[in-house]
Structure 1
Amino acid sequence: MIKHRHAENDEVAVKIGRYKKKKGPFNFTRETLENPKPKSELTLKGAEFEALVEFIENKYEPFQQGVQKFIPLDEQFEAGNIEHLQAFFGNPEKQKLIDFVLGHDIIPDELFVAFNQLTKIRAVEKFEEMLRNDLTEHDWQKWFEENDWVLGTDYVRMLDERTIDTENISDFLMEAYDGFLDIVEIKRPDGALRFWSKSKDHENYVPHQDLVKAITQASKYIYEVERESDSVKFLEKVDGVRTIKPRCVLIFGRSDDWNTEKKKSFRILNSNYHNLTIMTFDHILARAERMLR
């Protein structure tokens, strides 16, 4: 506010002038003044000025809503005014906010890609943190549900249904890129489960019984899914995704401390299965990190 030169005792006042704008073609109003001198003037000071300020504070929408609704677009963006964006994206009705933003192209493609990349980076950081803790299989299921992108481009989507039949419930049923049904089975990376046996066979590393049991379970799921392939009820449960020669990815154990011989044995082990792929949690982590480069 600028001090008015006619105000007494350094009193703050406001001077309001009434001007007339020029008329353009077709009687449209221009943003230039017809005359630089106002047609009339009004000076508010003292109680009148205070009444005007009170009126603006109570009636002018930005002052009523504050940072909850208005973002100053004419200011240089800096950390000091980040509260405006936080208030906007802090809307409790998240899904409505997301639908509105996406439906009106508010976020440019470059920013959307950056947000998506940041989300994945944070997911990988959480994955690494989870590896440092002895978490349950349920915790890992939840993480993979939220981050199925780490399973690679072989899969289009994760299905809501997990039940194969009354006795067999998989971790995840997936729709593959070719439109058919596949399976993903996960076991906790730590705990008491072991990947390799302590003893070797002819100087070769052999799977531990824990891994053999997991492979047997995964193979059973493949078999049961094939049995249900002609079931109309099962087809409805899996949202119409058909089953032909299903494959399974088994995520089991750790490999961060493997030597060269164990890596070779792992390669040989995987080559023995045509419809089953075994991966460790460290393989998943390495894949995710490569995808983010």
Structure 2
Amino acid sequence: MASTTGRFVACGQSVTAAASGPIFVTMSSRADWSLELQLEATQKEAVHPDVQNAIAQAIVYMHSGKSRRRRGGRALVERLEVARLRASEENEWHVVRLLQDALDYATGRILNPDFEERYRLFQDGGRSDHRRDFVSGVFFGMQEFVRGASRKFLEDNESASAQELLAHLTSVVADGKFLDAPEDRPGRYRLVRGRAELALWLERVLRDRIDIEDPSAKVGNLVRTPAVLELLAGDVDGQSILLAAEMKRRAESVTQIRAICESDLATERDLQRVLEKQAWIFGGRFVGAVGRRRLVPGDEVDIPLVRGDGSLQIVELKRSRAIRAIVKRHRGSLVPTSEVHDAVAQAVNYLVGLDENRSRIREEFGIETRRASALVLIGHPACHSDVPEGEVNETLRTLNSHLNRVEVMTYKELVDNASRSLTEAPLY
């Protein structure tokens, strides 16, 4: 389709379907000079008087605003939909395509630069040199930035692989979204590493816990403030945000841990990997995990935890759903199986080794093992389809009442306790 005005050239695109249904407007509709020019040219392309009149009604409505402002809104969208329908009824499919573009532009689905370039609205059919030079300059600047960032990374990391370089550049580009302009350095801009990760965390908090219309915009302002975390930590509302984020992180961890524990294929290594960084799941009396697992020569505990008083508790991990059984019938009663007793014996041996090496461990690692205890995690009630979960737990509690420094618990009971703690107890 050629332009009759010398300033309107449509792209050659085929129409694959008839007029679609009404458009759901997700933002305030747009009505500007670019849309008006496109509709005027589209009206000249229409053949049937009804189609021409329907397009004219949309243009007239745009001019009905006060103070020469073009009117948009749902009413304009509805008039464009009527014009599109009239064009489809008259089989003027090229006009349908043009009106669909007008609708997409009015509702924000086509951006202004794309719309003006597609229809050459202001350059009498020529491409925009200004936009071409702008895109070229941005592309050149981006290349120079990537080249400089790559050179600096490789100078600091001579043995880095291509994958590591790509990961570094990806994180740098993500941080670039939150560039700021420091007041003390006019004409210069600052890119702070790690801001993208901080922004993602804050956006998730704001989106999931607090009613903010545009969390991503709010996050952009927050992460450009150097003291944002200090302000959050020192403010009552800020502390609520941090606590909400921690609550959400723990809830996600419980979901992940439960899935692993309920898998028939999960190994002890799988269970250790998902539990060793979640010391909170073992109860609030623990302040964290010990970085060193080999405290006694020849013994390596699965998860060493430190209580608030500095004493040690070790966690011995056995299989969950992959184990054969943890209780059995014996003379009419339920008793723990040999797998449970073997695990308890192994934990006791660890405690003996800690006792015998108490002085050295305290001197080398600053950990008190005199009051050390052990938790054995083993099995899952689902391993016993013929035994109620309550009876499985009660059998292990009876065993625990006769043990001194060792406690036995199923993985399900551990996860259920953690899940309840998220809804019943504060994080502080």
TM-score bucket (shorter structure): 0.5 to 0.7
Q: Which one of the candidate residues 137, 141, 149 is aligned to 2:268?
A: 137
Q: What is aligned with 2:77?
A: none
1:152-203 per-residue CA deviation (whole Å, 9 max, x = no partner) reads 0221211001113221111122211222122111112022342113x413x2
Q: Is the 8 A contact 1:67 1:84 kept in 2?
A: no
Aligned equivalents of 1:193 and 1:174: distance in 2?
A: 28
**Structure 1 residues 101 and 139, CA, compared in 2 at 3 Å: closer, same or farther?**
farther
Report the Cα distance in structure 2 between the residues aligned to 1:66 and 1:84, rounded to whole angstroms.
17
Give the conservation status (yes or no) of the 8 Å contact 2:231–2:238.
no
Give how far 1:66 is off: 10
CA distance in 1, matches of 2:259, 2:392: 25
The answer on 1:149 being equivalent to 2:280 is: yes
> Which residue does the alignment assign to 2:249?
119
CA distance in structure 1 between the partners assigned to 2:277 and 2:303 by the alignment: 12
Cα offset for 1:58? 7.1
**Are residue 264 (structure 1) and residue 394 (structure 2) matched?**
yes
Pairing 1:207-218 to 2, within 5 Å after superposition: 207-218=336-347
Equivalent residues in 2 for 1:234-245 (5 A)?
A: 234-238=361-365, 240-245=366-371
- Listed one character per residue, the Cα deviations across residues 214-260 of structure 1 (whole Å, up to 9, x for unaligned) are 011001011111111122xx23553x021213111111111256424
* 1:246-281 superposed Cα distances (whole Å, 9 cap, x missing partner): 111111111256424434322211100121111110
**In 2, distance between residues paired with 1:189 and 1:237?**
34
1:162·1:171 contact (CA, 8 Å) conserved in 2? yes
Give 1:100 deviation, angstroms: 7.0
Q: Does 1:223 align with 2:352?
A: yes
Match runs of 1:251-290 below 5 Å: 251-256=377-382, 258-259=387-388, 260-290=390-420
Whole-angstrom CA distance in 2 between matches of 1:147 and 1:101: 26
Q: Give, as a single letter, the amino acid of the residue that structure 1 aligns with 2:177.
A: K
Residue 372 of structure 2 is matched in structure 1 by 246
Matched, 1:69 2:69: no
Deviating more after overlay: 103-112 vs 275-284: 103-112
Which residue matches 2:229?
A: 102
CA distance in 2, matches of 1:67, 1:263: 50
Q: How many angstroms apart in 1 are the aligned matches of 2:312 and 2:364? A: 12
Other-structure match for 2:309: 178
2-side partners of 1:249 and 1:195: how far apart? 15
Higher strand share: 1
Decide which structure has greater helix share: 2
Q: Secondary structure at the match of 1:290?
A: helix
Q: What 5-or-longer segments of structure 2 have no aligned partner?
A: 1-31, 34-122, 124-128, 139-144, 146-172, 180-211, 424-428
Aligned AA for 1:262? V
CA distance in 2, matches of 1:207, 1:146: 29
Could you say what the CA RMSD is over the residues aligned between the two structures, in angstroms?
4.1
Letter in 2 for 1:223: V
Change (3 A) 1:84 1:216: same
Give distance in 1, aligned partners of 2:354 and 2:175.
54
In the alignment of these two chains, the number of paired residues is: 229
Q: 1:58 to 1:84 in 2, by over 3 A?
A: farther
Query: Are 1:192 and 2:318 matched, yes or no?
Result: no
Q: TM-score, normalised by structure 2?
A: 0.46
TM-score of the pair, normalised by structure 1: 0.64
| Partner secondary structure for residue 296 of structure 2 | coil
Identity over the aligned pairs, expressed in percent? 20
CA-CA distance at 1:132 after TM superposition:
3.2
Amino acid at match of 2:343: A
Are the counterparts in 1 of residues 261 and 320 from structure 2 also a CA contact under 8 Å? yes
CA distance in 2, matches of 1:167, 1:67: 46
User: What's the secondary structure of 2:242's corresponding residue?
Assistant: helix
Structure 1 residue identity aligned to 2:357: E
Partner SS, residue 205 of structure 1: strand
Q: Is 1:153–1:177's contact at 8 Å kept on the other side of the alignment?
A: no
Q: Answer whether contact 2:232 2:242 (CA < 8 A) is retained.
A: no
Q: Is the 8 A contact 2:323 2:379 kept in 1?
A: no
CA distance in 2, matches of 1:66, 1:241: 42
- Higher relative CO (Cα under 8 Å, sequence separation at least 6) belongs to 1
CA contact 2:293–2:300 (8 Å) conserved in 1 = yes
For 2:330, what is the secondary structure of its paired residue?
coil
Question: Is the CA contact (8 Å cut-off) linking 2:347 and 2:374 kept in structure 1?
Answer: yes
What is the identity, as a one-letter code, of the residue corresponding to 1:143? Answer: V
Work out the CA distance in 1 between the residues paired with 2:394 and 2:253: 30
| Amino acid paired to 1:284 | L
Bigger mean CA offset, 184-193 vs 220-229: 184-193
Q: Secondary structure at the match of 1:185?
A: strand
